[in-house]
Structure 1
Amino acid sequence: MLKLQQLVDYIFNSIPPIYLIIASTVVFVVMTTIVYTMRAKAANKPIQARKIILPPLFMSTGMFMFLFDEFQVPWTQVAEASLVGLIFSTFLIYTTRFEMKEDGIYLKKSKAFLVILLGLLVIRLLGKIVLSNTIDVGELGGMFFILAFSMILPWRIGMLMKYKRLENQYSK
């Protein structure tokens, strides 16, 4: 663990913060593209409860980042990032819809999802530009992770509730 901490220290002390911001933004754009592509493909197949539950579980492993000093975030910023994530999740919960077809429950395609994803991309980029002057890059990364997780978890819980409601309605 000490060697990994030394590597993280080396990266954060030797690479200029602007390069870290650019790299993390590029990674976020790539991940956004992957998420949108997966969502578009998922709309062509019946959805299952496990496909709703698994993404937040997989994402939760990212919490290990907080073992490193560079990513640790003060509790006030944890609360702020969580609140912003919860606010964003309401848009996702509201725009996520399911429909019943002959062979199962499907996720309805939504243009709002792309608009929300692109809006989050812009907000994240602007937030990084503004906040990187006052908050350390690693800490900022931790805050954005908290924001994303606190957005995805309630959204997926809301999705699961809608899915189960529709499943129960058609199983009667």
Structure 2
Amino acid sequence: MDWMIAASSVAAVMMGILAFFVRMRAAKKPTTAKKIIMPPLFMSTGALMFLFPEFRVTLLEMLEAIAVGMVFSLLLMKTTNFEIRDAAIYLKRSKAFPIILMTLLVVRLISKLVLSTKIDIGELGGMFFILAFAMIVPWRLAMYSQYMKLKRQQIIDATEKSTIRPI
């Protein structure tokens, strides 16, 4: 059982490092609504884990995981911004984002180590899935909203430029 906790902790660290590098690369290319929406949709397939009884959580555990995930999402929302460059919308690099991402990872690992002595590993896996999903969905919705505002502004700006004709 301890090896499962250690293995999942190592996997979480690897995923955190991967997320960091993906985010840094994403800032170099224009973003799209599809790139914002797809990660939570792909992640939602993980909810199939709840078909198996060992991953099911109580209502209280679910509410706790959702609350923590939403608090974590607020930190991510604060450090995620877009900018218009070269007539495209780019994710703006934030110096705080990598620090927040790594801090969330450390908090999550410590929580897992503490909670794994009290909660079954399957239930804990279910709780951390709910936490991650409750973190990514509000964050991505906020990103999408911000992206669409910039997109509308681009359209308005382009329309104004095309309707103003020199005399």
- The answer to whether 1:107 aligns with 2:70 is no
Question: Could you give the per-residue CA deviations for residues 80-117 of structure 1, whole angstroms, max 9, x where no partner exists?
Answer: 10011011111111110100011300001112111111
- Of the three residues 19, 24, 42, the one matched with 2:3 is 19
- Identify the residue that residue 72 of structure 1 maps to in structure 2: 56
1:114-136 superposed Cα distances (whole Å, 9 cap, x missing partner): 11111111111111111111100
Equivalent position of 1:33 in the other structure? 17
Q: Tell me the TM-score normalized by structure 2.
A: 0.91
Query: What secondary structure sits across from 2:83 in the alignment?
Result: strand
User: What residue is the counterpart of 2:27 in the other structure?
Assistant: 43
CA–CA distance in 1 between the matches of 2:48 and 2:100? 27
Query: For 2:37 and 2:23, how far apart are their aligned partners in 1?
Result: 14
Aligned pairs for 1:46-125 (under 5 A) are 46-125=30-109
DSSP-derived class of the 1:100 partner: strand
Q: Does structure 1 residue 126 correspond to structure 2 residue 88?
A: no
Secondary structure of 1:115 counterpart? helix
Once the two structures are TM-superposed, the CA of residue 164 in structure 1 deviates from its matched residue by: 0.4
Deviation at 1:170, TM superposition (A): 1.9
TM-score after normalising by structure 1: 0.88
Superposition RMSD on alpha carbons, in Å? 0.8
State the distance in 2 between where 1:94 and 1:136 align. 33
Aligned length: 156
The reply on whether 1:152 has 2:136 as its aligned counterpart is yes
Query: Which consecutive unaligned segments of at least 5 residues does structure 1 have?
Result: 1-16
CA distance in 2, matches of 1:111, 1:67: 40
Q: Distance in 1 between matches of 2:74 and 2:110?
A: 21
Aligned-residue sequence identity (percent) comes to: 53
* Partner deviation per Cα, 1:56-96 (whole Å, 9 max, x = no partner): 00000000111111111111100010011011111111110
Matched, 1:162 2:160: no
Cα separation, 1, equivalents of 2:58 and 2:100: 28
The one-letter amino acid paired with 1:61 is T
Runs of 4+ in 1 over 6 A off after TM superposition: none
